[in-house]
Structure 1
Amino acid sequence: MIANNGHRLAFHVTPGSTPTIVLDAGGGEDSSYWDALVPQLSQATGSQIITYDRAGLGASEEVKGPWDPQAAAFDLQAGLRELGVTRNVVLAGHSQAGEVAHYFVLANPGVVSGAVLIDANVPQFFTDTQIQRLVTLTAPQIEELKKAPSTKANRQLIATADNFGPTHQAFHKVSWPDSVPVIYVVSDKTPFDGSPQDAQAWRDAAAAFTKAGPDRTLVIAKGSSHDVPQDKPALVLEKIEQMTATVK
């Protein structure tokens, strides 16, 4: 348990060599999301592997207020520094963790040597038009969550909806640094399988992100839902292993 800014966060470490692989789960998910992949990654790479619970998830304490990806990146920074991990990191993030990854690499130059973003949120997707569509699309789901029994996961999903517009308008202006190579794995079905327009916008954003800088590779997880690490674990393992090999 690592303290930062008045709350404590749970970090889990599998011993190994450098580079260190840091796995960050998507919205509403905690470190247990990676339980099946961690031993496989450890065996395949020999790397130290770190998973953690973002604030309000798993064993980590909650933080009041709307979702703040910059604060989440600060939490990750505090945890890694406490663990002595200050360079040669391969950062792998799924879905909402793409926002954390962007703010983390920008605030910590030289720490991340390579990244694997797995159907992750990227700035190119969050245009004003798309933000408004998402607010409208998710409003019924958020209302149902507010009526449902209160759980940590539900509260965090509700927090993501709070202040969604300004948070993602700011994220839209963020740029991934050219110095950090990245493999972007986009799902075949995207998070918007039932909405062709939004699904196409997601695919277009993935393509735009990978074209926006050097050392960026786009990989399509054919047949996969948004839940790529669960649907296509061998592909995720392969791409993290590939990135780890290039930064050793």
Structure 2
Amino acid sequence: MPKLNFRGEQVDIGGRSLRVVRAGPKDSVHPLVVCEHGAFGCASDWAIVQDKLSAKGLRSLAYDRAGLGHSDVGPAPRDGRAINDDLEALLGKLGETGPILLAGHSMGGLMVRLYALEREWPIVGLVLVDAVTPDVFSLPGGPTAIKGFGRLLQLASAGAKVGMMVPVSFISGNLIGLTGDAGREKRRIHASAPHAHGAAAEVMAWPDTSRMAGAIELPVTMPVAVVTAGPHQARGPIKQIQETPARLSQYGYIEHVTAATHANLLGPRYADAVVRGVDHVLQAGSR
């Protein structure tokens, strides 16, 4: 995908670049909120949340993982450990040294959990936004569904090479409800063959990432906010799995946004729930 007319900046992390979108006051005393997108996602997904965080005087960073959006391809395999290596290199290149708060949407929840478990960076806590947890593989049909999703993305990559994803992008390319430049950018990325190829590589590595992230539990003293989409009654087993990290934390927070969907939880109608999760973690982390 041509790296022209996109929001944010390119940051070289060692011979290849990641697209980064930074928002908020540079002189903020608060921890940096690092936003990790889900499968087939990109930095654009977090545009509305970032605007709301900026209005509260909070700094945030969203980025396209390697091979997705406007970021260069990274070495295989594209599992959570490789992805977090990139994030750590990115934070170093940006001169960040202070504490961070990690927010992960969907499959991004695995990435931030793994980062918190394996990295020595000072971490205030986690906000898991309708996030995947390692326990999803315990659900009936879970492994089969994930494998099927990876194959679907491989087909999307092949179809995008001949333009088939362009009309699809006008239907499903902006379910979040992004507006302006972020909305247009999201649709362009959604129609991109390289983006679909990069997303498929991550999903095919999902089982390995899940094993890494589930190897041990998070520290009970780490603040964890869980914000989910949809009614509890319709998704009982999944909701229970999603709630677990917050229930195991001494500083847990759970909010179910009944009217929201998996995508539009990051959109204009429901993003305040994500911000409330961030507020909880920041307050708990300052104790």
With normalisation by structure 1, the TM-score equals 0.83
Equivalent in the alignment of 2:45: 33
- 1:186-224 per-residue CA deviation (whole Å, 9 max, x = no partner) reads 21169xx9xx6xx44321211333223322222111111
Equivalent pair of 2:110/2:210 in contact (CA under 8 Å): no
**2:213 is aligned with 1:177:** no
Opposite residue 214 of structure 1, the aligned amino acid is: Q
Spell out, residue by residue over 1:157-194, the C-alpha distance to the aligned partner (whole angstroms, 9 max, x if none). Answer: 3213424444434443342233321101121169xx9x
**1:97/1:136 Cα in 2 relative to 1: closer, same or farther (>3 Å)?**
closer
- Encode CA deviations 1:62-92: one digit per residue, 9 max, x unaligned: 1253431111111111111222323321221
Taking a change above 3 Å as real, the CA distance of residues 91 and 5 of structure 1, as seen in their structure-2 partners, is same
Deviates more, 1:115-124 or 1:149-158: 149-158
Q: Which amino acid aligns with 2:44?
A: S
Superposition map of 1:1-248 within 5 A: 1-4=10-13, 6-14=15-23, 15-17=26-28, 18-44=30-56, 46-109=57-120, 111-127=122-138, 129-135=140-146, 137-138=148-149, 141-142=152-153, 144-150=155-161, 151-188=193-230, 199-227=235-263, 228-230=265-267, 232-248=270-286
SS in 1 for 2:160: coil
How many Å apart are 1:143 and its aligned residue? Answer: 5.7
Number of residue-to-residue matches in the alignment: 241
**What are the ranges of 5 or more consecutive residues in structure 2 without an aligned counterpart?**
1-9, 162-192
Q: Report the identity percentage.
A: 21
CA RMSD of aligned residues (A): 2.7
SS of 2:31's partner is strand
| 2:33 match: secondary structure | strand
Please list every run of 5 or more consecutive structure 1 residues that lacks an aligned counterpart in the other structure: none
Segment drifting more, 134-143 vs 78-87: 134-143
Residue 98 of structure 1 and its aligned partner are, at CA, apart by: 0.8
Work out the CA distance in 1 between the residues paired with 2:107 and 2:146: 15
CA distance in 1, matches of 2:160, 2:278: 37
